[in-house]
Amino acid sequence: MIRALSPLPFALVLAHALALAGCGEEPAAKTGGDPLAADPLLAAALHDPLMTDPDLSHRNEANAVLTVPASHALPPLRRSEEAAQAAREAARLELLEGGRIPELPRAGAAKGPDGFAGAPTASAMLAAAGAPGRCTRGLEAGFAFAADLPAMARIMPHGMVRAAAGGTACGARAVRYLTPAAAEDVLQYHFTRAARAGTAPRLHDAPVRMVAASGEGGAMLVAVGAGPGALTAVDIVWWRP
């Protein structure tokens, strides 16, 4: 007489088979090959919400457009001699593609604009730099504006964007970034880019170290100073006259 199979052993066999099958599977990749998962700055640039308030203060904890909330995911940046040298070499290699790098001239006796470095909003930065009032209207905040800078105002290699804003009026842009590079290397980078855009850049030592330029390629002001963690802090505004 043939006895029927008991359902309990069959269930155990089935469970054992499924467990063995699971052991042979490759673990799923954590990022799924998604470049955004490996680049939080790019992800922020693509997904960061834009704001239409002229002062861009809705999400800003200090009522200042260019203050970055702690929740923003930004790549870490630490100051070291190796990092400073790497940033300098990357900048020089980029500039050498366009020809010889000019020597940085001495700063003129004239002062640069007051109130630019440390201005609390993008509107205030542009106004202090001398941009027309219409350029400050309709500004929006978003990291994507840092990737949309013209060649003369491009961010130095190895720089980390802290905040950015822009608008359609005058094509205005305002960006703050940090770099491990020395202040002198930052000034030379922005001075050279401005000169190659057909402008006549000028250096100022007061109220802070600055590069100012204007011409057919646009108008730009760059201020360089001490940043957190011994990094160099850079403020840039650009607009189309």
Q: Convert the pLDDT of each residue in 174-210 to its tens digit.
A: 999 999 999 999 999 999 999 999 999 999 999 999 9
The continuous run of DSSP H or E covering 196 comes out as helix 183-196
Residues contacting residue 51 through CB under 8 Å, at least 6 positions apart: 58, 59, 140, 141
User: What residue type is assigned to position 131 of the chain?
Assistant: A
> Range of 79's domain?
54-239
CA distances from 208 to 186, 189, 226 (A): 14, 17, 10
* pLDDT value at residue 76: 62
Q: Does some domain include residue 25?
A: no
Phi, psi angle pair for 235, to nearest 5°: -115, 130
Question: Is the confidence at residue 90, as pLDDT, over 60?
Answer: yes
| pLDDT classification of 106: cutoffs 50, 70, 90 | very high
Percent of the chain with pLDDT over 90: 62
* pLDDT value at residue 27: 37
> For 9-29, what is each residue's pLDDT tens digit?
444 444 444 444 444 444 333
* pLDDT value at residue 241: 85
CA distances from 241 to 117, 129, 131, 153 (A): 21, 12, 8, 15
Mean pLDDT of 79-90: 93
Residue 195 CA to residue 188 CA, distance in Å, equals 10
Q: Does some domain include residue 100?
A: yes
Mean pLDDT of 46-63: 38
* b/e 31-44 (16+ beta carbons within 10 angstroms → b): eeeeeeeeeebbbb
Residue/partner pairs of 185-189 with CB below 8 Å, 24 or more apart: 185/84, 185/87, 185/88, 185/91, 185/156, 186/156, 186/222, 186/224, 186/232, 186/234, 187/104, 187/211, 187/222, 187/224, 188/101, 188/104, 189/91, 189/95, 189/156
Q: Which of 217, 233, 194, 214 shows the shortest CA–CA distance to 131? A: 214
* pLDDT value at residue 233: 95
Q: Does some domain include residue 87?
A: yes
| pLDDT classification of 217: cutoffs 50, 70, 90 | confident
| pLDDT classification of 91: cutoffs 50, 70, 90 | very high
Q: Does some domain include residue 227?
A: yes
| pLDDT classification of 145: cutoffs 50, 70, 90 | very high
More confident residue, 210 or 73: 210
Q: Does some domain include residue 229?
A: yes
| pLDDT classification of 66: cutoffs 50, 70, 90 | low
Specify the pairing of strand 218-226 against strand 160-166.
Answer: unpaired
Q: Which of 175, 168, 118 shows the shortest CA–CA distance to 146? A: 175
Q: Does some domain include residue 213?
A: yes
Q: Does some domain include residue 48?
A: no
Mean pLDDT of 38-60: 43
Residue written as token pair 């949309």 = 148
Q: Does some domain include residue 30?
A: no
Question: Is the confidence at residue 55, as pLDDT, over 50?
Answer: no
Question: Is the confidence at residue 62, as pLDDT, over 60?
Answer: no
Which tokens is 139 given? 């500004």
Number of domains in the chain: 1
CA distances from 27 to 19, 20, 33 (A): 14, 14, 13
